[in-house]
Amino acid sequence: MVVFLNGEYLPADQAHVGVMTHALSYGTGVFEGLRGYWNDEAAETYIFRAREHFERMLRSCRIMNFTLPYTVDELVEISRELVRRNGLRENCYIRPFAYKADEIIGVKLHGLTDHFTMYTVPMGDYVSTTGLRTGVSSWRRVDDNMIPARAKISGAYVNSAFAKTEALQNGFDEAIMLTAEGHVSEGSAENIFLLLNNELVTPSPSENILQGVTRDTVIQLARRELDRITRERQIDRTELYCADEIFFTGTGAQIAPVVEVDHRPIGTGNVGPLAAEIQRLYADVVRGRRAEYMDWCVPVFGKVARSKTPSAASHLAAAHNGHKPVRARSRHVAAGTTKE
């Protein structure tokens, strides 16, 4: 396995962090999760909506005081190169991660050294896509003025982990989290949609959600393909119980229908027709089987259409090495951890 670390492609067993690393102690990292989908007929792995994921990553970086020496185009190119170098002609997951790398004691965000890594692994389903049994979590979603959910901050995933573990230990498949005020927010790592009185609704961005790329994809597909406008609004807990259909969306979860909330069947208690239709559409779109959505699919092995992307890996290394704090840190890591 080859990983990307601070401007270089390295064997995974040479990419290490020290036990004192700031992000390990304090959760001071931001990350993304992208999927690559293998299309047999096209003999191609397509990375789905790579630009949008990296745009969100750079927004997370702004919130968390990170400066990355890469543009969105360069990050897209690193992800393509990484999948290529790992020869992943199959469905895969890509995890870019920026982290505060200093080996110090002291909680803060400023004046620290930013490192950046990316790795990719083969991946199938993250949760079942044939009907999830869920429970409303006793853990509330982090608030924007606590740990902003709109940024994908590694430390915030402790909040998700509390909810997910509680749900699994209570015999459910997934958690639904409420905001501190008691309105529906999202799943542990998924956005949520409800079909209520024949209207598609989802919590608005101010409900402490991560604004999902899949959420946006579903809003666009529902409008363009199914003539349905999604209403973004505040949703009460008990509206969950009254919904005709509920489904989660996420890069990991894909389109995952919910068939039960707090032991109450949703609709008929089976996967609903709207969720099934969106699942079918999504499965085709992400694999590059729909010409009108090909600009969402970034080919790994073939040429990128209309690309502004500079392709040379050496250019990326140069960009990273031009970023002084990282260069200083990289040398230290190479001397202290990688080789010993």
Cα distances (angstroms) measured from residue 99 to each of 69, 82, 271: 13, 19, 39
Question: Which x/- pattern over 145-174 shows residues binding ligand PLP (rule: CB under 6 A)?
Answer: ---------------x--------------
Question: CA–CA separation, 299 vs 309, rounded Å?
Answer: 13
Name the residue nearer to ligand PLP (CB basis): 7 or 250: 250
**The pair of three-digit structure tokens given for residue 146, joined into one six-digit string:** 């606590």
Question: Which x/- pattern over 277-316 shows residues binding ligand PLP (rule: CB under 6 A)?
Answer: ----------------------------------------
3-state helix, strand, coil in the chain (%, to 5): 35, 25, 40
The correct pick among 6, 137, 154, 251 for binding ligand PLP (CB under 6 A) is 251
Measured from each CB, the residue nearest to ligand PLP is: 212
Question: CA–CA separation, 10 vs 262, rounded Å?
Answer: 47
Question: CA–CA separation, 296 vs 50, rounded Å?
Answer: 8
Q: Does 212 bind ligand PLP (CB under 6 A)?
A: yes
Question: CA–CA separation, 126 vs 288, rounded Å?
Answer: 21
Residues numbered 43 to 62 that lie near ligand PLP (CB under 6 A) are none
Active-site position among 100, 108, 152, 164: 152
Q: Considering only CA atoms, which of 240, 237, 244 is closest in space to residue 199? A: 244
CB 95 → ligand PLP: shortest distance, Å?
A: 11
Is the CB of residue 249 less than 8 Å from the CB of residue 193?
yes
CB 55 → ligand PLP: shortest distance, Å?
A: 11
Residue 152 is among the residues annotated as catalytic for this protein: yes
Token pair 């958690």 is found at: 175
Name the residue nearer to ligand PLP (CB basis): 32 or 102: 32
Question: CA–CA separation, 324 vs 306, rounded Å?
Answer: 32
The correct pick among 86, 120, 191, 202 for binding ligand PLP (CB under 6 A) is 191
Question: CA–CA separation, 221 vs 236, rounded Å?
Answer: 25
Question: CA–CA separation, 67 vs 324, rounded Å?
Answer: 11
The correct pick among 136, 213, 259, 275 for binding ligand PLP (CB under 6 A) is 213
Task: List Cβ<8 Å contacts ≥24 apart for 11-16.
Answer: 12/119, 14/338, 15/117, 15/338, 16/333, 16/337, 16/338
Residues numbered 20 to 39 that lie near ligand PLP (CB under 6 A) are 33
CB 213 → ligand PLP: shortest distance, Å?
A: 4
CB 203 → ligand PLP: shortest distance, Å?
A: 11
CB 194 → ligand PLP: shortest distance, Å?
A: 15
**The pair of three-digit structure tokens given for residue 150, joined into one six-digit string:** 């709109």
**Cα distance between the two ends of the chain:** 20
The correct pick among 210, 219, 243, 300 for binding ligand PLP (CB under 6 A) is 210
Name the residue nearer to ligand PLP (CB basis): 4 or 157: 157
Q: Does 190 bind ligand PLP (CB under 6 A)?
A: yes
Is the CB of residue 13 less than 8 Å from the CB of residue 129?
no
CB 137 → ligand PLP: shortest distance, Å?
A: 12
In the complex, the residues that contact ligand PLP under the rule CB under 6 A are 33, 160, 186, 189-191, 210, 212-215, 249-252
Active site residues: 152
